[in-house]
A = this chain, B = another copy of it.
Amino acid sequence: MTALEGGGPFRFVLRVRYADTDQMGTAHHGAYLRWFEAGRTEMLRSLGMSYREVEERGIRLPVVEARCRYGRPARYDDLLAIETTLARLGRASMRFEYCVRREPDGELLAQGMTEHCFLGPAGKPVRPPAFLAGMLERAPRP
């Protein structure tokens, strides 16, 4: 796990598992959404609070949109760097962007985004509370 100081995206490295592959012999396109999830989760942790704690404080951040463009395939056992940035922080929603790179050569395999709203304890949309907004303001930007 690497958070480059002085800029750059948050990097989290993971490995393509056999269960992630399909009979094309490469990673199934659905696996990338789980990798994005790991990327933003670890980015939040690096900012000082786990998403588990965010939920324990009554805030949930459900995905309202997800996109991925697949360039070159990820293969079984590849090491992948998931690079995460906070592309937009609004009053009602925010957007993370992701690059998936193969390690160690850094080849760009895929790019994607997820958009999230802020839900309060009653399951209603809320503005991001101060503890969350303050943390997110320190997030790596694209």
Contact = CB atoms under 8 A, between A and B. Distances in A.
Given A17-B41, A23-B25, A70 B77 contact: no
Interface stretch (A61-69, A82-90, A129-137): A61-69
Interface string A98-133: 000000000000000010000000000000000000
Main secondary structure on chain A at its contact with chain B?
Answer: mixed
A19 B28 contact: yes
Query: Copies per complex?
Result: 4
A67 B113 CA distance: 9
Interface of A: 15, 17-19, 21-26, 28-30, 33-34, 37-38, 41, 50-52, 60, 62-70, 73, 76-77, 114
